[in-house]
Amino acid sequence: MDLNVYKKSLNQWTKNLIVFVPDLSLIAFTYLLVLLINAYTGFGDIVSLLQNGNLESLDLLKEYFSANIFQLIISGTIFVVTTFFFGVGVYALKYEIIKDVVKGKKASIFKAYKISHKKFWQIVLMKIMVFLMSISVVLIVSFIVGLIYFIFSQFSVELARLLTLFVALVLILLAIFAIKLGILFRYPIMFMSNKNKAWSVLKESFIFFKKDPVYIFITWLFIFILSIVIWLFAGIINYGFGLIQNLSSNSLIIFICIILISLFGVLFNLIAEIWGSFILFDRYKN
């Protein structure tokens, strides 16, 4: 394992903190949208009733849903669609910045934006294809498990249940790893090669996995372990703030601790995701 690649990726994102801007803008946009939807539907006020858990609160909750079902459906649809497309734009912008940094170019949001929009529909189509691929795998696994249960239930229902459970778990784990590792390098391929179609990107990613599965697995394993370490570190820090929050009776200190816990959670999650992306782009380049 070439540790220089991982050290290089660390150096790249720490010296180009501008790469955090797209994700932070998505987080800010999401919070703003939640506030607007809450103001429109008043859902935040009714949520507090759930904390009581009494029958009267449940009746009021039912009345609220009955009276506001259309507003909730419209708001939910707007939230999902808007955040999805805004998120795709963020992905395109972020990966364009990462590509420039990995290629030794100066990171620039404005320069990356001029180019990134060309990848927008590629990413949308690729996400749809990955979703359809996942659904297909679920259907195939369900068919196989159902067939096994049908065959063995003729002899023993208990044996059929145990066998189908075992086979289902094995097939699901294999499918998750196959898809995860098979499409691991999809974004580096999309942004650093001449592949212009979503299908060709996914195909090339699976070919890349087939050629050197060990290389792909080691890359994924290192990113996974790195993410766990970062999340544990964030958890320790947030645990410390949580102790201060529980021990303090000062409302200002409690409020500050809550804000810091939220901020550190978001920050460390972004660090893990962006560092992992740099590793993928660097590993693909090599």
What are the tens digits of pLDDT across the range 108-118? 888 888 888 88
Residue 141 lies in a domain: yes
Q: pLDDT band for 55, please (50, 70, 90 cuts).
A: very low
pLDDT at residue 44, as a whole number: 61
- Boundary-marking domain end, from 107, 142, 166: 107
124 shares its domain with 79 = no
Q: How far apart are CA 77 and CA 75, in angstroms?
A: 5
What is the SS3 string spanning 216-253?
HHHHHHHHHHHHHHHHHHHHHHHHHHHHHHHHCCCHHH
Percent of the chain with pLDDT over 70: 89
Average model confidence (pLDDT) across the chain: 84
pLDDT at residue 202, as a whole number: 92
Into how many domains does the chain fold? Answer: 3
99 shares its domain with 135 = no
Q: pLDDT band for 242, please (50, 70, 90 cuts).
A: confident
Residue 128 lies in a domain: yes
Q: What are phi and psi of 52, to 5 degrees?
A: -75, -45
198 shares its domain with 223 = no
Residue 26 lies in a domain: yes
Residue 114 lies in a domain: no
Among 104, 179, 108, residue whose Cα is nearest residue 141: 179
101 shares its domain with 54 = yes
Domain of residue 154 covers: 119-210
Residue 255 lies in a domain: yes
222 shares its domain with 270 = yes
- CB-CB contact of 265 with 242 (8 Å): no
Residue 54 lies in a domain: yes
232 shares its domain with 250 = yes
Total-model pTM: 0.82
- Own/partner long-range contacts of 138-146 (Cβ < 8 Å, ≥24 apart): 141/168, 141/171, 141/172, 141/175, 144/171, 145/171
- Own/partner long-range contacts of 211-217 (Cβ < 8 Å, ≥24 apart): 213/181, 215/283, 216/181, 216/184, 216/185, 217/181
Residue 178 lies in a domain: yes
Q: Which of the pair, 5 or 221, is modelled with greater confidence?
A: 221
Task: Tell me the torsion sign for CA atoms 19, 20, 25, 27.
Answer: positive
- Tokens 């740099």 -> residue: 278
